[in-house]
Structure 1
Amino acid sequence: MSFKSKVVLVTGGSSGIGAAAAIKFAEEGAKVSMVGRNEKKLQNVSDKCKKAGSIPLVINADVTKDEDVKRIISDTIKHYGRLDILVNNAGTCIPSSILAPNAVQTFDSLMALNLRSAIYLTNLAAPYIVESKGNIINISSVAALRPFEDEVGFAYCTSKAGLDHFTRCVALELAPKGVRVNSINPGPVRTDIAKRYFTDESKEQEMWESAKKMTPLNRISEPEEIGDLILYLASEKARSITGAVYAIDNGYLMK
């Protein structure tokens, strides 16, 4: 799957799925624009892209800030002159209960990062992607397809369900213009996100072991596996796929 001469914008590119996608696109010859808030981690991913043969454009930005979103698109276009693929990957999970005093604040925070940022980036990027007949990939979650209780909660599930339906709506609108839009819904993936909740490494490992047992395949995905699916959906091999929601969860939703 060669992406030579293609320009790819990946948000949340400093670690996890976003980092894996950026590196894989670089390995396939793409010109990568990668966005994140952690400069040290961004530089580490940038170095790996360089080793793969592509020097990425590194943008330190917060996708929940409108001025930063505008800068992300303008810097990418200024640097590369075009945009072919947008990967809306930036997101997080904050456990939420509808009974919590801060329920609405948690909801607003998650909607801003997990949904609104993807909408605004798509809004600004779409004219360029229409011009290049490119495509958009939104990174959602199995939480969009099945409700979870307090350990994940209503706010995260709702934000990801909204992202899935946004995917379908925009896919339908942009299809006549030759643009495809799809969603990827991972189950448990081994990323740095768990470190935000566990300072004790043994507790983190217990969490992964528990998640593994909840999958029929008895395994946790690695970010690179999600990256493989991102590249497939972004490629011409997936030219007939749009408006789709792809679960990649080791069978998690069946159990």
Structure 2
Amino acid sequence: MSKPHSPPVTDDSPVVIVTGATSGIGKAAALYFAEKGFQLSLSGRDEGAMGKTVKACMELGVPHNSIATTVGDLREEAIARELIKHTVDKFKKINTLVNAAGILVNGAVEDASMTDYDRVFDVNVRSVIQITRYAIPYLKESKGTIVNVSSIAGPCAFPGVSFYCMSKAALDSFTQCLALELASAGVRVNAVNPGVIVSDIHKRAGMDEKQYEEFLEKGKQTHALGRVGLVNEVAQAIYFLASDASSFTTGHLLSVDGGRGIMTPR
């Protein structure tokens, strides 16, 4: 069966901002929204990787002039402001914000530094709040949607990644509180809570190839479906929450975790 053609991208097409669009779930989300005919405003810290994401989106049919990019660290207020300004200057609107940028830091609390704590919360929580605040006025205009990329580590506790779990729990609470604040304006706010997903986040956190392969193998036992997940599976869930298919859903934390979050020792 041939793959269906993507909707043509025009000036009237909806606009999505995707942070963390240069790798992992963020990149997969950018590509999936490209397939769905969105105009794209992409943010990331790696200029070379950003070029690869843009090229992949263009290969899916999005014209170059329907893609905006902002390279920089969203912890910096000037970069966050520039992302929103650049998007609105170019496209005149924002329909969806996908907050996919995030980091993982390993280590027991006893051995970790407060610098690690600050860095995890600055990236996973503070930068999300900052960019979201700047986007809200435009999302109210479009009655748009926000999808935050959280983790099953938000509602579930895991040793050795306490700061990460805490940051995702904070993001989950932010998602639900903001959903109530913006509901009267017609803006829906939801989150996805993935389990272990094949990406580079664990390697960036310090795992070598052997450790990562062992970690993925262990995932066959720690996820009820007997495997870890793929970035595209999360991207599809993000799109569902952003789209009219979930028009009566807000404040929801959607587990995309292969059943990991409901497993208990027996």
Structure-1-length-normalised TM-score: 0.95
- Equivalent residue in structure 2 for 1:8, among 13, 16, 19: 16
Identity %: 37
Structure-2-length-normalised TM-score: 0.91
* Structure 2 residue identity aligned to 1:218: G
List runs of 5+ in structure 1 lacking aligned partners. none
| Other structure's SS at 1:14 match | coil
How many angstroms does 1:202 deviate by? 2.9
**2:68 aligned residue:** 57
Task: Answer yes or no: is 1:198 the counterpart of 2:207.
Answer: yes
Render the CA deviation track for 1:8-53: whole Å, top value 9, x for unaligned.
0000000110001101111111001111111111111111100111
Q: Distance in 1 between matches of 2:203 and 2:112?
A: 25
Task: Answer yes or no: is 1:121 the counterpart of 2:131.
Answer: yes
Q: Distance in 2 between matches of 1:203 and 1:159?
A: 24
- 1:34-183 equivalences in 2 (<5 Å): 34-54=42-62, 55=64, 56-100=67-111, 102=113, 104-150=114-160, 152=161, 154-183=162-191
| 8 Å contact from structure 1 (residues 10, 35) kept in 2 | yes
| Other structure's SS at 1:43 match | helix
> Aligned residues, how many?
251
Q: Distance in 2 between matches of 1:21 and 1:140?
A: 14
Could you list the structure 1 runs, at least 4 aligned residues long, displaced by more than 6 angstroms after superposition: none
Q: Distance in 2 between matches of 1:242 and 1:198?
A: 36
Residues 133 and 169 (structure 1), Cα distance of their counterparts in 2 relative to 1, 3 Å cut: same
| 8 Å contact from structure 1 (residues 3, 25) kept in 2 | no
* Structure 2 residue identity aligned to 1:130: K
Q: Distance in 2 between matches of 1:91 and 1:83?
A: 22
How many angstroms does 1:97 deviate by? 2.6
How many angstroms does 1:250 deviate by? 0.4
Q: Distance in 2 between matches of 1:27 and 1:122?
A: 24
Residues 182 and 101 (structure 1), Cα distance of their counterparts in 2 relative to 1, 3 Å cut: closer
**2:238 aligned residue:** 230
* Structure 2 residue identity aligned to 1:247: S
* Structure 1 residue identity aligned to 2:215: M
Q: Distance in 1 between matches of 2:102 and 2:192?
A: 13
| 8 Å contact from structure 2 (residues 8, 61) kept in 1 | no
How many angstroms does 1:194 deviate by? 2.5
